[in-house]
Amino acid sequence: MDLRLHNTLTREKQVFSPQNPQRVTMYVCGPTVYSYAHIGNARPPVAFDVLFRLLRAKYGESHVLYASNITDVDDKIIAAAAETGRPVGEITALYERIYNEDLAALGVIEPNLRPHATEHIGGMIEIIQTLVDKGHAYPAKDGVLFDVPSMADYGKLSGRNRDDMIAGARVEVDAGKKDPADFALWKAAKPSEPKEARWDSPWGEGRPGWHIECSAMAKAVLGETIDIHAGGLDLIFPHHENEIAQSECAHGKPMANYWLHNGFLSMDSEKMSKSLGNVKLINDLLKHYDGETMRFALMSAHYRQPLDWTEALLNQSKATLDRLYNALRRMDVEADDVDAPKGVMAALCDDLNTPLALAELSALATEANKAEAPEWPKLKGRMLAAGRLLGLLQQDPEAYARGDAGDAKRIDALVQQRIDARKAKDFAAADQIRKALADEGIEIMDGPQGSTWRRV
Ligand code: AMP
Ligand code: ZN
């Protein structure tokens, strides 16, 4: 079955054909780690985690190399360090850990490679030097700038005209630009900036620009031409446009063959973003919702479409997951080891159509709910295989039915209180706890091994 992906570069859905099916490469731009990530930031890692899983299913687990970086040097990090008086490295280590924990709760498989910008400064300097030598970059007062007019096909990814480009470019280094569209490759250190955020270079002490980081890391860990490069829609310009400019002018070959971009997550139809202040942090949401519910919600829209984040979406996602897990729970048998159903595979192979794949999964549950026992092993196997491909349904159905981890802890504590009350022969208190839990739909089961509970 062909995999078709929408390529931003060609503006069409194309059959995916890797350079080497034994080594399929994918790079997704990762976070700048200076504070908590919001649920909009989770959209690229979740969407492209589905792609990672699909590629592994198609080409074999050991034949797919997925890299996603950590940006651990940046203006915002330096500002956070200055504000809190804590060392840069402490801030980046803390928020990287939280980021990884948040993503793990959303069922995201760890990428094979997690390059850190600060580990690749040498590679960045090398590319900048090549660009200077080839006449694509020049030293200026505040660092080194990329010479945009030196690249004939600059702008091919975003298709922007020059005026838009100039208006849209982040004004990073204004002094000494030969052309208003030129952008920073190397930024000279300012006296106020900390030691840990400056490195020696042929152009004096400083630090890399954001775009060169990805050019250098992608090259170092995956190679000069990668198969898939992905990120959020807002990265098309200027970030990815500039990555292309740097890498292609330095290496003389395409940086990536397929460019994929996810749409925005919004709240009340406005892009969720820190600057607008309308963000829901993953870390906070996890206190109220199961990570799997949030993953399901993120997958409920096609990755290129906008998705509005609402409580109704989360409730709907939870209700659907409850139904899927109930179907699994009813089939109280060992599942057959089978491949993911064709319908689910076909949906994902059509530019990662997750809403259709989820509909297929729901249809499987409907079929399972009607099926007689002899069919259960096969149907349960299919549901679980589809779940593996989508990163869903991997919890034990009984544990799932007992509720999320936080709630389970509270219930465990009440069950323990009841045991203690019975030991103390305070049967009235014990009965009261049993009744209160029963009102919540929780049944306590007393057995020789002690007491357990389940939702009924
Ligand atoms: P940032 O921290 O803004 O650099 O974003 C990190 C990643 O999250 C990038 O790939 C962005 O494109 C993506 N991103 C940020 N906000 C949103 C959003 N509201 N919806 C979808 N993706 C987003
Ligand atoms: Zn990048």
**CB of 120 closer than 6 angstroms to any ligand 1 atom:** no
DSSP labels for 3-70?
-EEEETTTTEEEE---S-TTSEEEEE---B-SSPPBTTTTHHHHHHHHHHHHHHHHH-GGGEEEEE-B
**CB of 199 closer than 6 angstroms to any ligand 1 atom:** no
**CA–CA gap between residue 219 and residue 231 (Å, rounded):** 17
The atom of ligand 1 lying closest to the CA of 261 is 12
Last-in-domain residue among 247, 262, 277: 262
On whether both 229 and 353 belong to a single domain, the answer is: no
On whether both 47 and 151 belong to a single domain, the answer is: yes
70 C-alpha vs ligand 1 centroid, how far in Å?
Answer: 14
Considering only CA atoms, which of 256, 263, 272 is closest in space to residue 235? 263
Q: Are 368 and 330 spatial neighbours (Cβ–Cβ below 8 Å)?
A: yes
- In this structure, which ligand is nearest to the CA of 68? 2
On whether both 428 and 317 belong to a single domain, the answer is: no
On whether both 115 and 137 belong to a single domain, the answer is: yes
**CB of 29 closer than 6 angstroms to any ligand 1 atom:** yes
User: CATH number, domain at 31?
Assistant: 3.40.50.620
**CB of 368 closer than 6 angstroms to any ligand 1 atom:** no
Say which residues have a Cβ less than 8 Å from residue 434's Cβ, sequence separation at least 6: 418, 444
149 C-alpha vs ligand 2 centroid, how far in Å?
Answer: 22
On whether both 229 and 171 belong to a single domain, the answer is: yes
**Atom 11, ligand 1: residue with shortest CA distance:** 232
**CB of 143 closer than 6 angstroms to any ligand 1 atom:** no
30 C-alpha vs ligand 2 centroid, how far in Å?
Answer: 7
- In this structure, which ligand is nearest to the CA of 103? 1
- pLDDT tens track, the chain, 456 positions: 999 999 999 999 999 999 999 999 999 999 999 999 999 999 999 999 999 999 999 999 999 999 999 999 999 999 999 999 999 999 999 999 999 999 999 999 999 999 999 999 999 999 999 999 999 999 999 999 999 999 999 999 999 987 777 776 655 546 689 999 999 999 999 998 999 999 999 999 999 999 999 999 999 999 999 999 999 999 999 999 999 999 999 999 999 999 999 999 999 889 999 989 999 999 889 878 999 999 999 999 999 999 999 999 999 999 999 999 999 999 999 999 999 999 999 999 999 999 999 999 999 999 999 999 999 999 999 999 999 999 999 999 988 988 755 577 678 888 988 998 898 888 998 999 999 899 888 889 888 778 888 877
